[in-house]
Amino acid sequence: MTVIAVLGAGKIGEALLSGLLHGGHAPGDLLFMERYPARAEELTQRYPGLRSVTVADAAKQADVLVVAVKPQDIDPVLDVLAPLLGPSSLVVSLCAGLPTSLYERRLAEGVPVVRVMPNTPMLVGEAMSAISAGRHATAEHLAVVKELLAHVGQVVEVPEGQQDAVTALSGSGPAYFFFLVEAMIDAGILLGLPRALAGQLIIQSAVGAAKMLAESDEHPALLREAVTSPAGTTINAIRELEKHGVRAALLDAIEAARDRSQELGRAHDEH
């Protein structure tokens, strides 16, 4: 079994570890490095058998090294990794915005790097992950990463030039849905429903709608039309959404997320 080390066990690092455990990975084959001892302790208690290791141990023992720190924290991590890794290592970066060329510049010559944009539904085995090979990553390296991520959701391969757009769509995407659900529950409160009931109504509607989207071949517009009766309730709501520019707001929002991803990458250009 492939030994995987996760460097930075925060929200997405934990989602990956937890998803891999649920997907059948042996805890003994999963290592993590975390700068806060209290966080490391929390994880070893929550996931018995998982080992907290040093970066040097991870570099020695792991087949795959997954970098899951904030993009702003990458510099010290690359400094520590640089003397430890060689072409037989495989680095997988989950960091928004950071290009594979950054790793290639800072690590030893020939170290293969695969850039991945996952999302937090990894926690429940429903991630959407997009992967791109760096200059030294071969088809076999991509296959290893694909196989790994297939345990925790769907995987697509994209040209690296699309990764900032992917980050804005599916990397951040769950947050947009959570935001909508939060606002819709508030609407239930406005209409006088108890919060628990409003939550149940909206969350199950979201689950049902997501299942229809995933399982039917219908375009979302047709699924929406099927709910929208002539002179009915839904069209009155749709008129308000259009009046408030919700469609344009989503286009602008996702473009802003893409721009920020590009900016995070550029912040390291001078290094």
Ligand X SMILES: O=C(O)[C@@H]1CCC=N1
Contact of residue 9 among ligand NAI, ligand X, none (CB under 5-8 Å per partner type): ligand NAI
Nearer to ligand X, 93 or 167 (CB): 167
Contact of residue 79 among ligand NAI, ligand X, none (CB under 5-8 Å per partner type): none
Q: SS3 helix, strand, coil % of the chain, rounded to 5?
A: 60, 15, 30
Residue nearest to ligand X (CB): 171
246-266 and 233-243 helices, crossing angle to 10°: 50
The 142-171 site mask, x for binding ligand X (CB under 6 A), equals: -------------------------x---x
* Residue indicated by tokens 């720190």: 69
Binding residues for ligand X, total number by CB under 6 A: 4
**Under 8 Å CB-to-CB from 157, ≥6 apart: which residues?**
130, 131, 132, 142, 146
Residue type, 97: G
The closest alpha carbon to 68, from 122, 8, 5, 113, belongs to 8
Distance CA 175, CA 21 (A): 24
Q: Does 96 bind ligand X (CB under 6 A)?
A: yes
Position among 39, 106, 146, 260 found at the interface with ligand NAI (CB under 6 A): 39
Candidate ranges 4-12, 46-54, 199-207, 243-251; the one touching ligand NAI (CB under 6 A): 4-12
**Residue 156, annotated as binding a ligand:** no
Q: CA Rg, the chain, in Å?
A: 21
Nearer to ligand X, 11 or 244 (CB): 11
**Residue 70, annotated as binding a ligand:** yes
Q: Does 59 bind ligand NAI (CB under 6 A)?
A: no
DSSP letter (8 states) at residue 264:
H
Sheet strands side by side (includes 153-157):
51-52, 30-33, 4-7, 64-67, 91-93, 113-117, 127-133, 153-157
**Residue 68, annotated as binding a ligand:** yes
Return phi, psi of residue 105, to 5°.
-70, -35
Per-residue tokens: 131: 């992967």
Nearer to ligand NAI, 118 or 198 (CB): 118
Q: Does 71 bind ligand NAI (CB under 6 A)?
A: yes
Candidate ranges 5-13, 141-149, 206-214, 238-246; the one touching ligand NAI (CB under 6 A): 5-13
Distance CA 139, CA 82 (A): 24
Nearer to ligand NAI, 95 or 145 (CB): 95
Contact of residue 130 among ligand X, ligand NAI, none (CB under 5-8 Å per partner type): none
Residues that bind ligand X (CB under 6 A): 96, 167, 171-172
Residues that bind ligand NAI (CB under 6 A): 7-13, 33-36, 39, 68-71, 73, 76-77, 94-96, 117-120, 171
Annotation: binding site for NADP(+): 68-71
